[in-house]
Every structure is written in C-alpha cells, then in structure tokens.
Amino acid sequence: MSTTPANKSLSSPRKRGSRVAAEISELGSRLRGNDTERGENDELECRVFEILSQVPDPEIPCVSVVDLGIVREVREGAPPVLVITPTYTGCPATIAIASAIRVALDRAGLADMRIETALSPAWTTDWISDAGREKLRAYGIAPPPQGAARHSLREEPAQCPRCGSASTEEISRFGSTPCKSLHRCLDCREPFDRFKCH
Amino acid sequence: MQPLAEYALRLGDDSLVLGQRLSEWCGHAPMLEIDLALANIGLDLVGQATHFLGLAGALEGEGRDADALAFGRDVLDFRNVLLVEQPNGDFAQTIARQFLFSNWQELLLRELARSRDDTIAAVSAKAVKEVAYHARFANEWMVRLGDGTEESRSRVVAGLEWIWRFADELFAVDETTEALIADGIAVDARSLRPEWDARIARTLAEAKLETPKPRRAVTGGRAGHHSEHLGHLLSEMQFLPRAYPGAVW
C-alpha cells in the first residue's frame, strides 16, 4: 500500500506545538462542554494532553492517543488521576497503550499520576479529533463516518484516501486490526483500510 | 458464588468459549477475509470475557482475576451455554452457530446496556456495537450459503439442523437470574425470544431456508453439565498456564 508520510504537516517542532495546542483546546472544549467548574484543572490537563499527544497509537502510529480520543480527562487530587478509555473491547493494543502512557507520564515527572480506565461512556469513533481524522487520511486509512452516519450499519462507501473517489467497494468488514475494514478504490484501484465506525 | 458473580461468570464463559472456538479457524478458513473475520470476532468475544470474568472474580473476592478464572477452572465449573462449546464442524456449521448466537447476544447486550449494575452496563454498551458487526456477518453468510449452490445449501441446512437443539438454552431463566431480573440487573432472556425469532425468520427467508422444526432442547451448561467437547477445548486453551504456572510473555 502506498502511503503518504504521516506527519508531513507536522515536520517543524514549533509548528507542532501550536498545532497541538489548537487540538487540545478543540478536544478540551468537546470533552468539557458547559462544565466550568474544572477551570483550575486546565493547566495540568493541558500539560498532560500535550505530553500524550506525542504518544503514538501502537497499531496506527500516525495518530496519537489524544487524536484517537483515548485520553479522556485529568482529575486533580492526591494522586492526580488520568482517565483513559479502551477503543474496542478486545483490542490487544489496550495494554500497550496504557504502558506507553505510563512511560510518557513517568518521563515527564508525573510518576505519581494514577491511570484509570473508564468503560462508560463507551468510546466512539466520533471522539477522533478532526486533526486525527486528517492524519489517518494522509496515512492511507479512510476515517470513519461521523455523527448520524454511525447509527447506520449500512455505511456509505468509503472515500479513497489516495484519490478521493467515493466509488469504492468493501472487500472485508474485518481487517488487520479490530478497528479497521478492508476496501478497494474502483477508480485508482488502490486497496485501503477504513477505520470502522463505532 | 453470589448470584451477580455467577451471572457475570455466565456472560464471560459464553464469550470466552465461543472466542476460543472461533480462534481454531485461524489459518484454516476458506478465504483470507473469512480468516480475518472469524479471528476478529473471536478477539472481540475474548475481550468481553476479560471484562465479565474480571467482574466475576472481583465480586467473588477470593483474589481470582480473569486469567485465573479462564485458565484455572475445570469443566464442571464452566457456566457457558452448550451452543458455544459445540465443535466448529465445517464452515456452514460454524456460521449457523454464529448466526443463532450473535443475533441473541446483540439483543441481550442491548438490554444489558441498561442494567442497574454499572460495570455490566458499561461493558455491554461497548460490546453491543461490536456484536452488531458479528450478527451482520453471520446473517450475510447465511444468505450466501442458503441461496448459493446445492452444496452450500445442503451444508448450511445440516449445520442449522444440528445447532438448533441448543437454541432454547439461550432463553432459559433459573433461580440465579430471577432475583437479578427483579433487581433490574439481569435481562429476562425469555423476553428476547420474540424478537430473536423474528430476526432469525427474516434472514432464513432471505436465505430461502426453512426455520427448523422445534425439537427437544439440550440444556445444562448453566449448571456445569457440559458436553464432552468442552473438556477437549479447555485442554488446549489451558495447557500452557497449567504446564507452566505463572508464565509471562
């Protein structure tokens, strides 16, 4: 499969920093909604999100655990708690993700932070950030449909991440990892993965 | 075990045993795509089992985690329905088994997502999204095999006839579940039957197959009365941790 370099748009560290900040604020507002009580926690949360935005997903290294919406929130306290959520029930990467996050926190001097796993509310592909969706596309993986589309099991045809054509067919609903299905572009003939809608 | 722990054990064992069965197809399926699909479905089921058995172990409070329950119990202590331990047979037989199970499990987990037990509700809400894919996969293959060639049709008819006797156990209720149903924790499986029947009938009609005639149900799995097949499955699944206790990767 031909893939575009994943982090093409993130080549400069300085640019990456500002981009991460924008993503975090986008994500933070989505997570927190109208809840204003957590304002004082913002600083620690922002820092943790920034650290973890450098932790790649072990199966799809073009996106970080923050991009995927795995990192949910930071609760201050003694010790402070980081809440993460598994993507798929049987995802074998869950353990690898938790240990990668542990290592990143330890290295950043947050060894006392406890990691909690929350199953509820259940993770959905709608939690993948817009930046994450774009990174998936650049990597050669069609991002999942959003919003109302995910309630329909009869999904719209995937859009080819290489040429953008919507004239594609599903080859297999189950792919190389639990989160992906296999497709083929009928125009440019590229075979590609699609992130399954959950 | 107290009723809730027992209920979690049942949910976990159903998923674990079928997940192990499906993993036997790994490298043997008729096509690569099916190999991937069956392995993926098996993986989802083992993931569910990890959560449900983890809950059962925590409620039991004797220090057994999901692994201890999966690898450290003998046949009589397993609480899965008999359907899931039945051998794979040919591909059509495996699909017929999955067809009955996944359609049932999707309805069950949809209701359990509203359970008053938070953990059961959370695991179910997550898993039901995955199981919807399993049911769709099985339904589509029922149609493809039933409305396919003479050969595929005769095989799927045989598979369905064989597995049908194990369907009733999916909807059984006993003393353990009755109290939990009253508390809004467990689902009254009997209430799932009409919708399950309708789903099964709809797909079978599309597959140009007939619904098998009712027959004497074979039950007993919930009480630990299993077929000979489960012991063989466990001997393979449990070999490594039994031969090398405490082994890690």
Residue of higher predicted confidence among A92 and B59: B59
The answer to whether the Cβ–Cβ distance between A120 and B33 falls below 8 Å is no
A180-185 sheet: strands from edge to edge: A141-142, A191-195, A180-185, A168-172
Residues A132-150 have pLDDT tens digits of 999 999 999 999 887 655 5
Residues A46-68 have pLDDT tens digits of 999 999 999 999 989 999 999 99
- Average pLDDT of the residues in A107-136: 92
- pLDDT at site A157: 84
Q: Widest CA span of chain A, in angstroms? A: 57
Q: What is the dihedral of CA B184, B185, B189, B194, to 10 degrees?
A: 50
Q: Which of B119, B123, B129 has its CB closest to that of A198? A: B129
Instruction: Pick from A91, A95, A174, A182 the residue to mutate for testing the B interface (most B CBs within 10 Å).
Output: A174
Q: Which of A90, A118, A173 has its CB closest to that of B133? A: A173
The answer to whether the Cβ–Cβ distance between A153 and B121 falls below 8 Å is no
- Helix axis angle, B118-146 relative to B150-163, nearest 10°? 140
| CA distances for A135 relative to A7, A8, A30, angstroms | 7, 9, 19
ipTM exceeds 0.90: no
Tell me the shortest Cα–Cα distance from A58 to chain B, in angstroms: 17
For residue A14 the two structure tokens come to: 């300085």
A7: pLDDT confidence band, cut at 50, 70 and 90?
Answer: very low
How high is the mean pLDDT of chain B? 96
Q: Widest CA span of chain B, in angstroms? A: 54
- Do the Cβ atoms of B108 and B100 come closer than 8 Å? no
- Average pLDDT of the residues in A36-48: 74
3-class SS string, chain B:
CCHHHHHHHHHHHHHHHHHHHHHCCCCCCCCHHHHHHHHHHHHHHHHHHHHHHHHHHHHHCCCCCHHHHHHCCCHHHCCCCHHHHCCCCCHHHHHHHHHHHHHHHHHHHHHHCCCCCHHHHHHHHHHHHHHHHHHHHHHHHHHHHHCCCHHHHHHHHHHHHHHHHHCHHHHCCCHHHHHHHHCCCCCCHHHHHHHHHHHHHHHHHHCCCCCCCCCCCCCCHHHCCCCHHHHHHHHHHCHHHHHCCCCCC
- Enumerate the residues of chain B whose CB falls inside 8 A of the CB of residue A89: 44, 47-48, 50-51, 123, 126-127, 130
Residues B143-169 have pLDDT tens digits of 999 999 999 999 999 999 999 999 999
- pLDDT at site A13: 33
| CA distances for A191 relative to A154, B31, B72, angstroms | 20, 17, 44
Q: How far apart are CA B232 and CA B230, in angstroms?
A: 5
- pLDDT at site A154: 58
